[in-house]
Structure 1
Amino acid sequence: MIIPDPLTPEGAAVIDLHEQMEDLENRSGEWPGAEVVDILGPWLADFDFTCVPTPARWVAGSAWVLRRQDRHEDVVTLWADEASALACLAQHARANWDNVWGGEGIPDFPPSSDRRAVDLYYGPRDERGDEDYWLYADDIGRLASTMPEPDGFRFPGEEFCAQANSTAVFHPMTGPDDDGLPCIEAGGVLVFAYLDPDMQAVRVSVDLDTAVEQLVRGDATIPLHVEVGNATVFSAGSRAVPARSRTGRMSRLTGWVRWMCWWRED
């Protein structure tokens, strides 16, 4: 059964039509053809069937863009962070150090610092000749269609999500010798957050294999949106809706974070 969403223009229009037809039936005991036409005419006039809805653009992550250009090639590569892009550029500079060796202020061997090696190799931007580079961060866009899923998939509503979130379970490690990892489980989705000495980083992993069937689309994928701070680092299959309830959740989250900061300082 399809449930019209009153938060969308289409859903509100369907509900309005239902109320008008219900009122007509209550007054007349039936749906007289002439009066039905009088209702449907203005109602259909509010719709535009001539154009295809424009997909909304969402930020699905970000990347560092490195463009390196010389007489022989023009190469564009993407990197997860600035340091990695700079290291790649420095690697090219060191491999071609003979191109600048002997110039004023240029040492015989490239320095170990990536930034220093790049600055010495390329020199000031207004003095560069055949070789140049551009390095900048940019958003990775994703077009989210406003059309319904072809298989009729609808992400669970507020009631289902509230129930799943309120019954979320934390699975801690039982001790330093435990082979497992700490994770939180909500709706069958497992999210692991832990300190990884091999990666030398705080690591977050998501396991979707045990997700409840209500979250799985017809193509066996699950809508997923990942944020770190205020930045979206990954987004696939998500469809934002009017933020009626998001404000309340975010304010509660902000309050909880502030309380935790106060508790730690106390």
Structure 2
Amino acid sequence: MLIKPDPTTPEGEAVLDLADLMDGLQADTGEWPGADTVDILEGWLSRFTFAVSQTLTSQVTGRAWVLDQWDRHSNEVTLWSDEASALASLAREVRSSWDDVAGTDGVPYRPPSDDRTAVDLYYGAQEDPEGYSLYPASISRCVRTPRSLSLSDDEACAEANSSAVFHPMEDPDDEGLPCIEIAGILVFAYLDSDKEAVRVSVHLDTTDEQLVRADSAVPMQVEIEDTTVFTNLTSLPAPAPRTGPTGWKTSLKRLARRTTTTTGSADRGVDPHPINTNI
């Protein structure tokens, strides 16, 4: 099957230009001399780029606290989910070596109960090269442009599920709330002291357009335990009958089944009761 270049595209226009150049060479010389052909191809190929193009977006997926400890013999770096945990670990080591500094430079003979105070007193009495640093660092990843996303495609759904990101609160003073982000959908789950309840809130303003139906809704089903409390699907599946033994083993099995199920979203811009559900 012969391919006909399309002159309306840059590639097709370039192929037709090359054909004209080679026809002109044939008309002038009666052949395609090697040196002249190489010169023509060199100029023609310079119009193209053959670099592999990948659209990569840097995405911050979380934060870790980096604890760097060093002394005369070693340098150890560990990662912690929060500052308090890193300080608690460091304070435990400091208290185990407290006899090395007790009674010197105003250091009390017994280590303080406050972790930060104990760490500051211990390292303040130490001479170089022993020390530590503790600082927060973002955890990032490079996200490639996603392929076509369809709720009817098992592989595409699995790929989206594996790319879900958890956004935790950085500390108790953080004004944000813990949130899971998947395909642009934000699902918040948190404890609300005002309502004295566990609250779940779904935000759909940034949902991937490929998940939005023609009626501007996002297919969604919300379940609590084995009960469907909201759905905007065409048909509501019958709840599974409760059979067999109950207890913590059964609860774990149900949890495992639910984590393999892709959950959609409700009408965008609409805040129905189950979208902000107290459970």
What TM-score range do you get, normalising by the shorter chain?
0.3 to 0.5
More helix by share: 1
Q: Which is higher, the Rg of structure 1 or of structure 2? A: 2
Bigger RCO of structures 1 and 2 (CA < 8 A, at least 6 apart) = 1
Q: TM-score under structure 2 normalisation?
A: 0.45
